[in-house]
């Protein structure tokens, strides 16, 4: 037994980081799901964790949240939206291809236990994916899960069935009403927290969505205050607390690192305005990088990609 384990580790340490499955999500051509064979990470991964990948020798290190894991198969699932050169490059890889580096699991896992009151999980856009393991783990622990997912339009929606299986109540919204309720995710959120006592809210999605979720739950106005976790996808390099690139500031000016203090953090303390400004730091370069890549590969640059 001992021997087998010992060899197991050494064997998996030598394995390449292979893409086992790839599929497009929704019908926007912008969302991709991939299953990676990374047994060591799969063995440890928990809801809330992320990984860093590097596609090739010249690639950046990009953080991606663990959207699902299968410990038996030794795989994790990632979901990403094509927004820039690196994600474009990643989307151009196929089943059977290998990534140069995958490291993780990084970041803190969420606290899973049986809470007294229901939990609301709000997922927006590509942020729907990381909601899945959180919902799953919390549901398995016996919690009542109310899920709200939203997107600009129906083409950008995905994992509806999958999310529904781990939810007790499931609400879909689109900005344009092409599917589910027309409107933003905070509309049903308001109704629910008015309706019943909620233990806490988990919000994962675009910064602007998370900002409005926290404004909804911060106890201002006539709504009760509800503890809210948000998941920060700041710019990262090492993911181990070394570079400080991922830092964010709280409203009272304290500095934290998303990679080691998060990624899930108390949403009411985050200075979203500062974060929104920081997130655009490398916009020019990112565009330049994308432009070069598209030229080299004969793509026409899709402006709507943001």
| Site residues (vs other proteins, CB under 8 A) | 2, 5-6, 9-10, 13, 40-41, 44, 54, 58-61, 85-86, 100-106, 237-238, 240-245, 247-249, 253, 255, 260, 271, 274, 277-278, 280-282, 285-286, 288-289, 292
Instruction: Please confirm whether the linkage preceding 263 is cis (ω < 30° from 0).
Output: yes
Strand partners, 21: 35
* 281 is a site residue for ligand FES (CB under 6 A): no
> CA-CA distances (angstroms) from residue 119 to 7, 64, 148, 266?
42, 24, 11, 15
Instruction: Please confirm whether the linkage preceding 105 is cis (ω < 30° from 0).
Output: yes
* Residue written as token pair 């109310």: 146
* 237 is a site residue for ligand FES (CB under 6 A): yes
Measured from the CB of residue 242, what is the shortest distance to ligand FES in angstroms?
5
206 binds, among ligand FES, other proteins, none (CB under 5 to 8 A by kind): none
* 236 is a site residue for ligand FES (CB under 6 A): yes
Closer residue to ligand FES in complex, CB, 28/233: 233
Measured from the CB of residue 182, what is the shortest distance to other proteins in angstroms?
33
Burial of 7 (0-12, 13-18, 19+ CB in 10 A): exposed
- Determine the interface stretch with ligand FES among 135-143, 156-164, 191-199, 231-239 (rule: CB under 6 A): 231-239
Q: In what helix (H) or strand (E) does residue 164 lie, and over which residues does it extend?
A: helix 160-165
Strands 98-99 and 75-81: what pairing? unpaired
Residue from the set 183, 245, 266, 278 that interacts with ligand FES by CB under 6 A: 245
295 binds, among ligand FES, other proteins, none (CB under 5 to 8 A by kind): none
Burial of 64 (0-12, 13-18, 19+ CB in 10 A): buried
Residues within the interface to ligand FES (CB under 6 A): 236-239, 241-246, 257, 259
């Amino acid at each position: 037994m001992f021997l087998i384990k010992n060899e197991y580790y050494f064997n998996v340490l030598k394995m390449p980081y292979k893409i086992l499955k790839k599929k497009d999500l929704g019908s926007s051509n912008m969302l991709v799901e991939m299953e990676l064979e990374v047994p060591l990470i799969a063995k440890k991964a928990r809801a809330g964790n992320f990984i860093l990948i590097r596609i090739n020798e010249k690639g950046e290190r990009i953080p991606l949240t663990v959207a699902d894991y299968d410990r038996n198969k030794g795989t994790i699932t990632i979901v990403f939206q094509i927004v820039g050169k690196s994600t474009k490059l990643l989307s151009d890889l196929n089943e059977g291809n290998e990534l140069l580096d995958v490291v993780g699991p990084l970041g803190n896992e969420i606290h899973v236990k049986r809470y007294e009151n229901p939990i609301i999980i709000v997922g927006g856009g590509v942020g729907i994916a990381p909601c899945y393991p959180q919902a799953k783990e919390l549901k398995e622990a016996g919690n009542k899960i109310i899920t709200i997912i939203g997107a600009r339009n129906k083409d950008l929606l995905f994992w509806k069935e999958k999310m529904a299986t781990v939810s007790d109540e499931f609400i879909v919204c689109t900005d344009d009403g092409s599917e589910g309720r027309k409107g933003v995710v905070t509309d049903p959120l308001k109704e629910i927290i008015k309706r019943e006592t909620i233990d806490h809210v988990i919000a994962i999605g675009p910064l602007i969505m998370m900002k409005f979720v926290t404004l909804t739950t911060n106890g201002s106005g006539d709504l009760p205050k509800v503890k809210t976790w948000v998941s920060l996808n700041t710019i990262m390099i090492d993911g181990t607390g070394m570079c400080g690139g991922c830092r964010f500031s709280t409203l009272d000016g304290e500095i934290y690192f998303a990679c080691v203090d998060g990624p899930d953090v108390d949403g009411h303390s985050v200075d979203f305005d500062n974060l929104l400004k920081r997130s655009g730091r490398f916009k020019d370069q990112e565009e330049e990088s994308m432009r070069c890549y598209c030229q080299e590969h004969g793509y026409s640059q899709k402006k709507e990609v943001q």
